[in-house]
Structure 1
Amino acid sequence: MSNSIPTLQQLGWKPFFQQQLSLDELTDLTMGRVIEQHRDRIVVMSEQGQ
């Protein structure tokens, strides 16, 4: 597997998800995808990495 960081589109980001957010949320929050779930934590991948 490559060490490159995936884009949001590669992580499954679709226009549908963007339509669910306000302009403030789009500018203030970092979008990502949960890639692992454990009992006491989750791991999220974004365009900035894990």
Structure 2
Amino acid sequence: MLIAFMILTLLERILIESLKSKEDRIIVSGKRKTFIPTRVSILEIIDYSN
């Protein structure tokens, strides 16, 4: 469980840095656009894509 949380945290950091460098937004639940997605919203995106 700890490793999964660490991977999710790393994914969050990479995603935020990528969005900052491109000055782009990501669409999260509720069709909201954000520069800083939360861990929960990242999990929802991953769950939705499966």
TM-score range, shorter chain: under 0.3
> Highest CA radius of gyration, 1 or 2?
1
- Greater strand fraction, Structure 1 or Structure 2: 1
TM-score, length of structure 1 as denominator length: 0.25
TM-score, length of structure 2 as denominator length: 0.25
Q: Which fold has the larger relative contact order, with Cα–Cα distance below 8 Å and residues 6 or more apart in sequence?
A: 1
